[in-house]
């Protein structure tokens, strides 16, 4: 019988980062960006990815990875096009989390 690995403690930090991103998107919607569909999409995707990541199954880790890559690309676009440097923090943190989750998937450290 295969042993299911325990969820690493860093996952709680990643979940906290995802909650911070949801709060940022809500603040943008409450502000001048009410009609930006991307903000609504990010809220939905971040919410689902938290649930997926907390299941600690391969599909959940993979979905969280997809959401991180999606927001990484949008943050990079905002950083380049609008030069809003606050997005540099999102790019750096998302990049580090993406690398970590790829490592988790390739090493098979999730529930089977």
Asked if residue 47 belongs to a domain, the reply is: yes
14, pLDDT greater than 70 = yes
**Among 108, 1, 2, which residue's Cα sits nearest to residue 56?**
108
Number of domains comprising the chain: 1
The token duo for 2 is 């295969």
82, pLDDT greater than 80 = yes
Strands (E), the chain: none
Q: How many CB atoms lie within 10 A of CB 71?
A: 24
Asked if residue 3 belongs to a domain, the reply is: no
Asked if residue 90 belongs to a domain, the reply is: yes
Asked if residue 112 belongs to a domain, the reply is: no
Asked if residue 4 belongs to a domain, the reply is: no
CB 103 within 8 A of CB 94: no
Which tens digit of pLDDT belongs to each residue from 86-102? 889 999 999 999 999 99
Asked if residue 19 belongs to a domain, the reply is: yes
Give the pLDDT band of residue 76 (cuts 50, 70, 90): very high
């Amino acid at each position: 019988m295969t042993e299911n690995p325990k969820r690493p403690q860093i996952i709680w930090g990643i979940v906290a980062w995802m909650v911070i991103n949801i709060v940022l998107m809500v603040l943008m919607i409450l502000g001048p960006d009410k009609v930006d569909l991307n903000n609504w999409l990010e809220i939905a995707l971040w919410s689902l990815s938290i649930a997926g990541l907390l299941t600690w199954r391969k599909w959940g880790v993979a979905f969280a990875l997809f959401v991180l890559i999606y927001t990484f690309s949008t943050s990079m676009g905002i950083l380049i096009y609008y030069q809003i440097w606050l997005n540099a923090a999102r790019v750096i943190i998302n990049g580090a989390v993406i690398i970590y989750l790829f490592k988790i998937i390739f090493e098979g450290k999730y529930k089977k």
